[in-house]
Structure 1
Amino acid sequence: MVKLALRTGLRWKVTLAIAGVSALVAVALSLVVHNAARLSMLDNARDVVDGQVQVAQRYYESTGRLMLRAKIDDPALPRPLREAASLGQRATYLQDSGGNPQVWASVPLRNGKILSIHTRFQDRFAILDALDRALIIGSVSVVLGGCALGVLIGGQLSRRLRKAATAARKLADGDSGVRVRDAIGGRVRDETDDLARAVDGMAEALQDRLEAERRVTADIAHELRTPVTGLLTAAELLPPGRPTELVRDRAQAMRTLVEDVLEVARLDGFAERAELQEILLGEFVQRRVGILEPRAQVTVVRDAYVSTDPRRLERILGNLLVNAVKYGKGPYEVTVEGRVVRVRDHGPGFPEELLREGPSRFRTGSEDRAGKGHGLGLTIAAGQARVLGARLTFRNADPRFGGGTGAIAVLWLPETSPTDTGTFPVIQVPD
């Protein structure tokens, strides 16, 4: 089952939150104001009718005539008022059916009859309609104002976080000069500022640790270079024989390992610079692959001129081919299509760890594909690609499409020359 994830920006989340709170507050206040105004009007209407019935009572008892639409023993008089009159009490009664309320007032007379006044107050309660319209307009205005405030506040916070994310990605790509706090800027001192300072502190600590590890690795490899070279020279002086061949083979393997470790240390220090030349990529790959691995089949779909460092490009091709031959199976295919070079074998494919995290030194991967070795070949290839400003990706062939299994390494060379530290161009992957 595929789960759909709705991705929304922080700006709109803040806006929706403020708008929701504004709407709740506006509705609650509107209801309170409406009910309070209505109760006040009803109480006022009761007082008005009660005053009218008292005036009508005094006028009737003095003149014997009715005024203010007063009635004697009105047959429509509500029962509660009749009961109050039987007790000799003056009373008011409200008939509220949700529309215009009707207000009654009654008073018992000396002759035992009941004088009452009945009114609707339609014009007075029409004010509530105008009040409701004003409350609705005010509520909408409050919600719109809350939305505008949410967009403003959320937009500022979102921009700061996006700048922080961009700076963090640059740090992850190896640009050690970037600082998140400088990237977000501004004079605001809030949680984003604290986060930026924490990320900067973490980046500096990691950078110091990596630099220390790189120096230790480079120093160890440099110190091993002289004795290993001496060992290899001494092995050449041994008499011919199987033991001599084994010693020479192991000494050469150790020398290769030391040279690879030194190369990785130089690449980690971002001190390498590309010596650019204009070359015809397809022709270059055909010549170099023919020397590096004659069994590999080279196909040039479309040739292109590129500005790159031939020595580093050859190093990348060599490491990819060595990896394919060592851990994969034939046939080995190298395809050139414009600025893209693909190296493929038909073995079990790259391990899942490499596909998820990329190549890592001294990690050999699964037993099927990399049960031995030091994991430096692909690490060096990725580092050299960075120096060239290129991008090196890894994937496995999908047998469902009839192409069988195998590991596929794709080198994307940039359209422009790389910067001093190497760039990772954004390249559209063809379908």
Structure 2
Amino acid sequence: MAGKEKTRKTPRAGLNGSVVFGSRIARLIFASNLAGLAILIVGAMFLNEMRAGFVVSKKQDLVAQAQIFTSLLGDDATTPQPALDIDAARQTIVRLNLPERVRARIYLPDGEMVGDSFYLSERVDIDALPPLREPGRVARWGRNLSEWAAHVFGPIMPRRSSDAVRTQTFEEEFDTAVEGGEAASQRFNDRGQRIISVSMPIQRVSAVVGVLTLESSDIDEIIRAERAALLPFIGVAVLVAFITSVLLTLGIARPLRRLAVAADRIRAGASERINVPALSSRKDEIGDLATSMQGMTEALIERIQANEQFAADVAHELKNPLTSIRSAIETLESVKENPELTGKLRGVIAQDVKRLDRLITDISNASRLEAEMTRVPNEQIDIARFVRDVVSTYDSLAIDEGAVTVSFHDATMGGRLLVQGREGPLGQVIRNLIDNARSFSPPGAVVEVTLDQTNDGPQTIARIKVEDSGPGVPPDKLETIFSRFYTDRPKGTAFGNNSGLGLSIVKQIIATHRGKVWAENRDGGGARFCVDLPAI
């Protein structure tokens, strides 16, 4: 059989039959980019939920306290007129012993403030006012980001309807309380602090004799504490982003850079191989790329070496007949007086010219073969009909006495075998084998072409056999005969009718059709050439 073909690792399927998330690298990129963002979103939503819950809880606490205090004030600090007893109201505020960050104020219905726990208590808070200044770029950026986040995530955040604390002015809050309602709001005081305020009417029976306002100013401290609580989430997110970036660099960018450097070295002639075994063993697209690049460079190098060898062989084969022609011409000048020798020399020249013509034609066909194989599309071929049509082109030889004829036998018993291929190159294969067999056959012999069906495991194989009755092939030359320019012919066969390229072209065409070709000797004498093509 023919020499064993080199096998290469076949890369796994690419994106043709898979979605984006079928790619391991794509999954890695998506997971790594979303991990840090997910941590920030979960942390921010958790802290925002906690902050909103705290504000509502603070409001409810102040409402409960205000209800108790207004009830006390209504009982102890009002007169039957009805009216508010200002001194009694002030004494009640002093006895309440309010927390440090809670401030109580008492207003008359006309808006006059008559009591303030900050002034009536014995505690004096000394705190310098911060200087007035425009908010910085970071503060403005943070505010814009907060507004954007509220706009984007607001629709998906839970709402508390009536429990939510609205933002309104003290005047609006006071007007609601004077009319007998309960009002709560959040706003900034004159010191720039965020406060939660609750205002309730002080009533004598059903008459509003005053308004009690409770304010809590510890919200900023809670917010700062929550922001500090957010820092670990941010730190973890940054760390995750950094780690994933390093992993992506080491796992994707660096291997790709190694492949690019290796390709540049080959282009510059500093290396002949892409040597990246660590990348080829990877089970992802990077490994597929490394394997494909290795196979591509090996194929290119083999092609370059084959072209160099082909050029050397062409030069050698052309030199032989040219040397013979030149020698014959030089001898012809000196033997003009001998007609018999002159005729022999002219015959030698004619034979060598014929050999040159055949050689140049076959070289041209071989050089065009590769381009034709890439340009001509594959098609389904009924191999029995196709081989019969090629063999029928030799029917005209039957009228010549002593000519070598060609016969065809279909051993598939009418089975319709289809192969995927190109009619032009496959026709050249069959003609080359038939012409080769005819050149070795004695006059009047028959070259037998047979189509048979066999199997290679589960694969159905169409086998074409071309048999002659010539001297056969030396056992040690059964593989060598498929080499380029092999012309070692047995004694007695015609010389100069073959260039030595026919069988090498056959092997090249069959290899591109994922088949195989080999030669063997028949038991009764002669040679048999077999071609296997995978059937559909």
Shorter chain as normaliser: what TM range? 0.3 to 0.5
Specify the structure having the higher radius of gyration (Cα): 2
Q: TM-score, normalised by structure 1?
A: 0.43
Which of structures 1 and 2 has the larger relative contact order (alpha carbons within 8 angstroms, sep 6+)?
2
Q: TM-score, normalised by structure 2?
A: 0.35
